[in-house]
Amino acid sequence: MLHINDLTFRFGGRILFDQATAVVPRGHKVALIGRNGTGKTTLLRLLAGELAPDGGTVSIGQGCRLGRLSQDAPDGPQSLLDTVLAFDRERASLLTEAETAHDPHRIAEIHTRLADIQAHTAPARAAGILAGLGFDSETQARPVGEFSGGWKMRVALAGILFSAPDLLLLDEPTNHLDLEATIWLEGFLKNYPHTILLISHDRALLNTVPTRTIHIDQGKLVGYAGGYDQFERTRRANMERLVALQSRQVAQRDHLQSFIDRFRAKATKARQAQSRIKALERMEPIVGIVEENTPVFNFPSPEGLAPPLINLEGISAGYGGRAVLSTINLRIDIDDRIALLGANGNGKSTLIKLLAGRLKPMAGEIRRSGKLRVGYFSQDQADELDLSLTPIQQMQRLMPNVAEDNVRGHLARFGLARDRAENVTSKLSGGEKARLLFALMTRDAPHVLMLDEPTNHLDIDSRTALIQAINGFEGAVILISHDPHLIELTADRLWLVEGGTCTNYEDDLDAYRTLLLDRSRSASKSGVGQQSGGQPTKRDQRKAAADNRAALAPLRRIAADGEKRVAKLAAETARLEARLADPNIYAGPAAEVAKLQIELGELKKRIATAEDDWLGAQEALEIATLQQSA
């Protein structure tokens, strides 16, 4: 199916692949792993023909249909279901031709081929995939252009899965998914009938789907049987074997060198000494496995507080006057490790913002310990970071009275030492920005960590380090994650956010996984999207979509007004900053400069408030869109 022979590729003056070779047989499911920056995505681009190798060859079986998830999200007025159906280009082409063909032989060929590819079941299959990825039947009838970028990427994933290519290339397919959709995807890929090459940092996915693992190691492609855990065990055993061989070789070399040193000058032993010198020269040193630096996270420990840290009584919360969550009665203590379950759009991020003090309740009472400190990790890095500053500058702005050595020491807790701490944040990788967020949120040793998808930009080793840091943390943790491995190893309580409220989930994650899979099977068997069996017609779907859009119009106006307000304030800010950047202004009265600086500071505060309101309105719109049919 796939042959990579002596592949060499350079990027930015660095050799990513150095005569790398690998074979992927037809029907195998293969994980492609390696640290960030080792070339995983680059290899997929080479396979897809987007890049040309500097040396060697990449060949794919003749007639093989290759499918790769595009980074360009679908858009437009067509429904989600029609968007996914269009991914099967052969079916779409045949259906179009069938409407205009006149030759009886060609018409027969078209209908025979449509029967061969089971075109009559396509709507049901597409609807089943969309349902597994979190889109109910009502949502599937809506235009794809109504959805945010993350949801559009789910539609793109649904499309590439529906098209069922012979070689499926997937690069971090769970990045835009919640836990529920991730669990469904595991089952789908495990039963996929063709070849898969998968890049992921989701350990559970890498153990469930692949039958083989290819590790990018020092420019080579090294194959291992099984999934990620088996790869780790095999590689560890190889390392131990090499260490033992190296030790024996060192002892042998020392023995030979000792003989040479003792008898080289003696005539009676000269010949033996010379033979040992040659033996020493011929002895190839055993090259050990080079271990990359292991990432480390270290959350500072807070002082103790009397329970409860946070108590919620009769809480309702939402945006723009619309409640997303209601009748919430919960408490958090210092030793709690809580994971929030529930599909995207049900209000998990709303709840965590409420707990973090980023969102005020619409009703009810929240009581917090008077000395409580909260560390909040937002899944959107841009919300929390100033990309124009270095990590050192961002930390010093928030810790003005702390010595620089102590600031650097805190950054080093999260792997941002020396040059990385002095790089402009915009030039940091996604993983390094995540580390900076961890450093910022823990600068004052918070009592509770609120983590909203903290692993989105972390590789497997960094996720392992995060698990160790969470388990070693002496405060409370509230966690949202699509990574079941992280939840299973860190959380001892589960809260289910569903149906407009949040309650304790009394069972474990395995039971929740079974529940989700049962729901998914029920949705698939219902034949969602078909035009028979009681399902809505195209006309009904269009009418429902029009009614839904009308109902959402007020929220759309609020979101649009918020965006305009932010744009207007940003323009005013740019005007003031331009005036303050003019050297001539400082030749005039100092009072005028001070007035402008005060005005600029007030504008920035207003922008921050306006952005919060705008983002809240956008989230409310998205939640309302996804829950409208409930």
**Over the stretch 83-109, which tens digit does the pLDDT of each residue have?**
999 898 888 888 888 888 888 788 888
pLDDT of residue 532: 36
Kindly report the CA angle at 452 between 148 and 470, in degrees rounded to 5? 155
- What length is written for the chain? 630
Could you read off the pLDDT of 416-444 as tens digits, one per residue? 877 778 888 888 877 888 888 988 889 99
Torsion of CA 145, 202, 358, 432, to 10 degrees: -100
High-pLDDT (> 90) share of the chain, %: 29
Give the mean model confidence (pLDDT) for residues 202-219. Answer: 91
CB atoms within 10 A of CB 532: 7
Give the mean model confidence (pLDDT) for residues 295-318. Answer: 88
- DSSP letter at 4? E
Say if residues 523 and 131 touch (Cβ distance below 8 Å). Answer: yes
Confidence of residue 280 (pLDDT cuts 50, 70, 90): low
pLDDT of residue 137: 85
CA terminus-to-terminus distance, the chain: 45
Whether this model's pTM surpasses 0.75: no
Three-class DSSP category at 105: helix
Say if residues 485 and 340 touch (Cβ distance below 8 Å). Answer: no
> Residues 34, 35, 41, 46: is their CA dihedral positive or negative?
negative
> What phi and psi, each to the nearest 5 degrees, are found at residue 572?
-65, -40
Say if residues 83 and 126 touch (Cβ distance below 8 Å). Answer: no
Specify the amino acid at residue 594: A
Class of residue 550 by CB neighbours under 10 A (exposed 0-12, middle 13-18, buried 19+): exposed
Q: Is the pLDDT of residue 339 over 60?
A: yes
Kindly report the CA angle at 509 between 503 and 514, in degrees rounded to 5? 105
Q: How far apart are CA 47 and CA 52, in angstroms?
A: 9
Q: How far is CA 149 from CA 144, 319, 371, 622, in A?
A: 10, 20, 39, 11
Could you read off the pLDDT of 548-570 as tens digits, one per residue? 555 556 666 676 777 778 778 87
Could you read off the pLDDT of 559-609 as tens digits, one per residue? 677 777 877 887 788 788 777 777 777 777 878 878 888 888 888 888 877
pLDDT of residue 517: 76
Q: How far apart are CA 45 and CA 51, in angstroms?
A: 6
pLDDT of residue 267: 54
Confidence of residue 274 (pLDDT cuts 50, 70, 90): low
Q: How far apart are CA 438 and CA 378, in angstroms?
A: 10
pLDDT of residue 222: 92
Class of residue 332 by CB neighbours under 10 A (exposed 0-12, middle 13-18, buried 19+): buried
Q: How far apart are CA 428 and CA 457, in angstroms?
A: 12
Could you read off the pLDDT of 312-338 as tens digits, one per residue? 999 999 988 889 999 999 999 998 999
The structure tokens 């002596």 sit at 6
3-state helix, strand, coil in the chain (%, to 5): 50, 20, 30
> What phi and psi, each to the nearest 5 degrees, are found at residue 61?
-50, 145
Q: How far apart are CA 515 and CA 461, in angstroms?
A: 30
> What phi and psi, each to the nearest 5 degrees, are found at residue 324?
-95, -35
Say if residues 235 and 217 touch (Cβ distance below 8 Å). Answer: no
pLDDT of residue 374: 93
pLDDT of residue 530: 41
